[in-house]
Structure 1
């Protein structure tokens, strides 16, 4: 720690010198200047190449258009130019490179089938063909740029006159450049927004994870025990409440009995109870004597039953005779 504090001035001096010599990307200023120059040169070469490709494609399309009056002549000229420019000469080989040694040196020119460009006679394009080709190219390029302008333009009513539309088409590359810059700017903003969004999501995920852990602790340690205590207290409360209701019902029952059975009512009930007890005892005695009598009759046998029948018949006859005598005595009072 002490060494780092002692070497801090030298470190600051080193960082200031590096800042003077290097750019933000870590390149030296000379390298950055060379890189910027190379980029500008590359952009210029790209523009020239794109211009050449567009012109070549336009001429190729015109050469295949049967409505062009000089189609065959243009097709032949185009074929000849393509042969001379790229199809015959394929490149050069360097002798030192073939031997595996670096450095410059003369090489052999490679051509298609060993042909030489001098074998093909040079043909100049006629002024009539050049004029017709220029007019056709201008018309095609104008239509292409107008269609591109109609795509990029926000105007609902597009100008149709060529004289008024031509200045807009000349400034079309500026508009495309602005659109490209706008697209790049929007892409940069989208990347920045995505980066900020991912950072916010990561922060929120960390916060949510922490909240989840704390909630688990609250649930497992605090809520569960608190819930158990609350439930036990509620059970005890309900148990005490049920016991209180039972006692209230018992008190209500006793109050109803007390209001129903007063002193006079109890006295009358006791008297009735004693009388009914006496009648029950008398009836039980009578029942016992009758049961004894029935048992005695049962022991005598069936002959006693006949005697009982005869005795009943004799008692009936006696009663009939008594009734007849009473009737006779009432009708003749002086007969006896």
Structure 2
């Protein structure tokens, strides 16, 4: 690629928005917007400079010319191959049609001779092309099955039959081509099928021009579709950018209002739970009262009062007895260690007395 000239010497494509639009049109494959070009003027100038050296696909001018020349050569080679291949397939179709007619309704000996000669010539030509690689490579290759092209050429039909076949071939080929052209014309415009042969020939002569014009129109529509696709891609990029901005704004709004609403919602929820808790406590208290009412009737309460009075009286008597015992015990504790020894001796005597009473009782019971 040639060196990029100074940006000051670059002729401006336009001014303002027009410049940006032309730059975007020159580079439809770039993911750019007019806002990007406006924010980066130096990059915009670089794209303007590059637009003088590359096309919309990114190829340089020199490479584009070489590519076009190569494409023309390729098209010429394709056309040459297509002509020979079309002629070969057309001759094969003619031979197949003859075989079908021969099996259906029979054919004349002259037709059989003509097509047999044609088929042998095609077969020999095909074998010669397979055995002679000189047209596709300069290297010597081993012979296939020990055969050479001359061996196959010896299998050609007699020269007289070949000459007769060539004299008739052009007429037969023209008729077959004419029939196929009429079929193509009927497919292209089905309403022309019932017209006269002269009118068909007239329309058939204009068919290549019509097909070429439609091909150009299809190419123009494809180019327009590519431009529309590039424009749609740019618009989609801008649309997605705007949508992302809107989503961010919505997220901030949702977050802000959600926090405010959440605080109020929490307060309402606390109030609701407090009221519900109070109601539950009231229900529990009511159930407890109901259970007490069902459990303690008037008769049971009277009996409980009598029992309580009796228990209170006994409790007072026991407390008085306890107090008396404690005062007696305290008076005994004044005597000290000697009293404890007497108490222990007294306890042993009491225990022995009880044991002897029990033994005497058991002895008296068994003696009877």
Match of 2:144 in 1: 112
- Pairs within 5 Å for 1:21-60: 22=53, 24=55, 26-27=59-60, 29=62, 32-60=64-92
Give the Å deviation of 1:118.
2.5
CA distance in 2, matches of 1:207, 1:93: 60
TM-score by length of 1: 0.50
Gaps of 5+ in 2: 11-45, 102-106, 268-368
- 1:137 and 2:173 aligned: yes
Q: TM-score w.r.t. structure 2 length?
A: 0.46
* Secondary structure in 1 matching 2:140: strand
Shift of 1:141: 1.8
The residue aligned with 1:83 is 127
The corresponding residue for 1:173 is 208
| Aligned counterparts of 1:9 and 1:79: Cα–Cα separation in 2 | 63
Deviation at 1:59, TM superposition (A): 0.6
How many correspondences in the alignment? 210
Aligned partner of 1:218 in structure 2 is 253
Larger CA Rg, structure 1 vs 2: 1
Out of 239, 253, 259, the residue aligned to residue 204 of structure 1 is 239
**Would you say the 8 A contact 1:150–1:158 is kept in 2?**
yes
Greater shift after overlay, 155-164 or 68-77?
155-164
Residues 181-233 of structure 1, C-alpha deviations (whole Å, 9 max, x = no match)? 22222222223223322332332232222222222322331476379779x9x
In structure 1, runs of 5+ residues without a counterpart are 1-7, 95-105, 233-336
- Provide the rounded CA distance (Å) in 2 between the counterparts of 1:9 and 1:168: 55
Shift of 1:159: 5.6
Report the Cα distance in structure 2 between the residues aligned to 1:210 and 1:21, rounded to whole angstroms.
36
* In 2, Cα distance between equivalents of 1:134 and 1:10: 65
- Where in structure 2 are the equivalents of 1:313-328 lying within 5 Å? none
For 1:135 and 1:53, locate their aligned partners in 2 and report how far apart those are by CA, in whole Å. Answer: 19
Distance 1:170 1:206, change over 3 A: same
1:110 and 1:57 mapped to 2: Cα distance?
Answer: 29
